[in-house]
Structure 1
Amino acid sequence: MADTITVTGVVGTVPQLGDAAGTPVCNFRLASSLRRYDKQSGKWTEYGTNWYSVGAYRYLGKNVAASVNKGDRVVVTGRVRLREWSNQTASGMTVDIDATSVGHDLTWGTTTYRKHNQAEADHADADQAEDAREDGDGFLPDASETPDVPGAPLVETAPGASAESWSTVPPGHGREEAA
């Protein structure tokens, strides 16, 4: 079973779209820093930066290469792997993330979403399903595993419940939740 991680940070290198044995892959480095505001000094204090090597494959990789730039603040979710390395002058450990999802961090700005045509989306879904089967850890949650929180996907949670009885929009932002 693979470990999953979600990291927010700044894209530290220009995302590079390449090819890995016939599969498109986009690679970039992600910097995640911890900063805290010190009330006594009135300044922000940095507590170090963690660096991650991110790889996004297939359509995700193509979309990342077309959408993400160096300096963008992003959220990355994926499978994490620690890899030791050494050369003649140094050695260390790299944290690799095999991305399953990448998006702009909307805490810091806005973005515009553009959906692919249905044929591309169906092909991407089939690729992701095949990857999950190969990894042995892919599954689709049933309704009992979906939390009842605003913003959760529309899911039938009980026999006879309809999608209209649940809202994916927080109260006061358009469609109101059913009582």
Structure 2
Amino acid sequence: MNETIVCAVGNVATQPVYRETPSGPSARFRLAVTSRYWDREKNTWADGHTNFFTVWANRQLATNTAASLSVGDPVVVQGRLKVRTEVREGQSRTSADLDAVAIGHDLARGTSAFRRAGKPETAARTARPEPDWETAAPHTARPAAGPAGLADPTDPADSADPDGRGEPAGPDGQGVAGPGQPEDEPVAVT
């Protein structure tokens, strides 16, 4: 297929518009991409020309776009470039659209917290339940602390002795230091 796939890095310029269509969800927003260059005369970085693209997202990408993006968010968009020329009222207008394949926050300019989207209802009805892989540990031969020496807060035995010192828990849930034993001194558990 002869397509032009591009990757654009910029900021969301308009709030995403979400629509339910007969072919599925659709969302669109404007993306502002400003070039940066080193200005030798001023000895600093400067903004260059700003290009605007209309980004189109479909199906699950449209739903997630509408739920995740706001005006000003730095994003990276990968998609098919479509340049259109229209004649309106005797004037020719050219616009550049991106039919998005992937959209994400630009982590070079901030942080983001990822959450998986819920599955559609049809898939949830036909999906099999998750098997229970965990097995109960026998209580006869258990170590004083959980994995890697950490106490298991859900186990009543560990909450009574949170640090494995053989001491009851104090009012703050931590072990109470015994006489001559400072609170921060490491204790070897055998």
**What CA distance in whole angstroms lies between the structure 2 residues aligned with 1:84 and 1:39?**
37
* Structure-2 residue corresponding to 1:33: 34
Deviations 1:89-127 (A, max 9, x none): 63221111111100000010000000124x44x96xxxx
Q: TM-score, normalised by structure 1?
A: 0.62
The answer as to whether partners of 2:36 and 2:45 remain within 8 angstroms in 1 is: yes
Unaligned runs of 5+ in 1: 124-179
* Structure-2 residue corresponding to 1:86: 87
Rg comparison, structure with higher value: 2
For CA contacts below 8 A with separation 6 or more, give which structure has more relative contact order. Answer: 1
Whichever residue aligns with residue 56 of structure 1, its letter is A
The answer as to whether partners of 2:64 and 2:117 remain within 8 angstroms in 1 is: no
Whichever residue aligns with residue 77 of structure 1, its letter is Q
Whichever residue aligns with residue 90 of structure 1, its letter is Q
Q: CA deviation at 1:36?
A: 1.4
Deviations 1:111-163 (A, max 9, x none): 0000124x44x96xxxxxxxxxxxxxxxxxxxxxxxxxxxxxxxxxxxxxxxx
Are 1:57 and 2:51 an aligned pair?
Answer: no
How much identity, in percent, do the aligned residues show?
A: 35
Q: CA deviation at 1:22?
A: 4.0
Deviations 1:40-80 (A, max 9, x none): 31343322011111000011000000000111010001111
Secondary structure of the residue that 2:66 maps to in structure 1?
A: helix
Q: CA deviation at 1:19?
A: 2.9
Unaligned runs of 5+ in 2: 124-190
Task: Note the 1:147-158 alignment, pairs <5 A.
Answer: none
Secondary structure of the residue that 2:63 maps to in structure 1?
A: helix
**What CA distance in whole angstroms lies between the structure 2 residues aligned with 1:79 and 1:89?**
29
Whichever residue aligns with residue 17 of structure 1, its letter is Y
The answer as to whether partners of 2:74 and 2:105 remain within 8 angstroms in 1 is: yes
* Structure-2 residue corresponding to 1:106: 107
Q: CA deviation at 1:35?
A: 1.3
* Structure-2 residue corresponding to 1:68: 69
TM-aligned CA distance change 1:72 to 1:6, over 3 Å: same
Are 1:3 and 2:12 an aligned pair?
Answer: no
Number of paired residues? 122
Aligned residues: CA RMSD:
2.1
Secondary structure of the residue that 2:112 maps to in structure 1?
A: coil
Secondary structure of the residue that 1:82 maps to in structure 2?
A: strand
* Structure-2 residue corresponding to 1:19: 20
Secondary structure of the residue that 2:97 maps to in structure 1?
A: strand
